[in-house]
Amino acid sequence: MNRKISAIQEIYKEGKRRLENAGISEAELDAWYLFEHVTGISRAVYYGHPEREIREEEKERYFYYIEERKKKIPLQHLTGEQEFMGITFHVNRHVLIPRQDTEILAETALERIKAGMRILDMCTGSGCILLSLLKLCREKGITGTGMDISKEALLVAESNAKRLGIPAKFVKGDLFENAEPGKLFDMIVSNPPYIPTAVIGGLQEEVKLYDPYIALDGREDGLFFYRRIVRECVSFIKRGGYLIFEIGSEQAEAVMGLMEAAGYKDIGMKKDLAGLDRVVYGRYNGE
């Protein structure tokens, strides 16, 4: 006997079909997240209680999100959140959506964090790197500051900090412009904009249309912010302090070279899960 497909299953599957037809990658997963986001229905209920009903208003909202997703609006802008290091961060169009690759940067930092350290996250965006470090090292008594040029991004970071109950300081400025002189950090982490301007047009639409352009654009060769951060951070990093960058997969050699020339030692590189160069780190060895 054929099992009758329930109304909720019909609705979910219709959304999935629409995304597939629109050529959305991960259509099935995205349809599921939107369905769950709108209805609160878990997979267990979906399969175990297919007779469950959803309200007309929920159905309309689900299809509204499906139509938005068809326009390549990122899933995370519709649900308003993204998980990073096992923590849920709120996001909007003013911040780069946290990427799984960036967890390599967070892990590289975690391996090096010691009690009482002062940490700076330069170009903090949603605050996901800084706040996850502070949360995961809570018992180590570390303090953290996030800097960003975007006021709107800092509002997102501040609200994430508040919601997660993580004390952190946020400073608006063009890189170190408003950093407190003489207050040195033990570790500076940064995922700066690093895509060469000419490459941005070829990125997937979700990224090029909806991630903030200023979070992507690394200017002509993509290295603009590495040059500036490596040069400017020497006034704000302790001797022996760590500088840890996320990098574009073609940039390891160049960024390691910049750090070496600026007096860093113990320079190294880490790959991401796809086997691409992703993180460069070193320790400041100057005065």
Residues that bind ligand GLN (CB under 6 A): 96, 99, 191-195, 207, 216
CA 278 to chain centre: 14
Q: Which is nearer to ligand GLN, 142 or 230 (CB)?
A: 230
Q: Which is nearer to ligand GLN, 15 or 127 (CB)?
A: 127
Task: Reduce the DSSP state of residue 31 to 3 states and report it.
Answer: helix
Q: Which residue is nearest to ligand GLN (CB)?
A: 194
User: C-beta of 191: minimal distance to ligand GLN in Å?
Assistant: 5
Task: Reduce the DSSP state of residue 182 to 3 states and report it.
Answer: coil
Q: What is the DSSP string of the chain?
A: -PPPPPHHHHHHHHHHHHHHHTT-TTHHHHHHHHHHHHH---HHHHHH-TT----HHHHHHHHHHHHHHHTT--HHHHH-EEEETTEEEE--TTSPPP-TTHHHHHHHHHHH--TT-EEEEES-TTSHHHHHHHHHTGGGT-EEEEEES-HHHHHHHHHHHHHHT---EEEESSGGGGSPTT--EEEEEE----B-HHHHTTS-HHHHHHS-HHHHB--TTS-HHHHHHHHHGGGTEEEEEEEEEE--TT-HHHHHHHHHHTTEEEEEEEE-TTS-EEEEEEEE---
Q: Which is nearer to ligand GLN, 12 or 245 (CB)?
A: 245
User: C-beta of 214: minimal distance to ligand GLN in Å?
Assistant: 10
User: C-beta of 206: minimal distance to ligand GLN in Å?
Assistant: 10
User: C-beta of 194: minimal distance to ligand GLN in Å?
Assistant: 4
User: C-beta of 256: minimal distance to ligand GLN in Å?
Assistant: 17
Q: Which is nearer to ligand GLN, 278 or 283 (CB)?
A: 278
Residue 124 CA to residue 137 CA, distance in Å, equals 18
User: C-beta of 110: minimal distance to ligand GLN in Å?
Assistant: 19
Q: Which is nearer to ligand GLN, 15 or 196 (CB)?
A: 196
Q: Which is nearer to ligand GLN, 108 or 191 (CB)?
A: 191
Q: Which is nearer to ligand GLN, 194 or 264 (CB)?
A: 194
User: C-beta of 141: minimal distance to ligand GLN in Å?
Assistant: 29
Joined tokens for residue 191: 């995922």
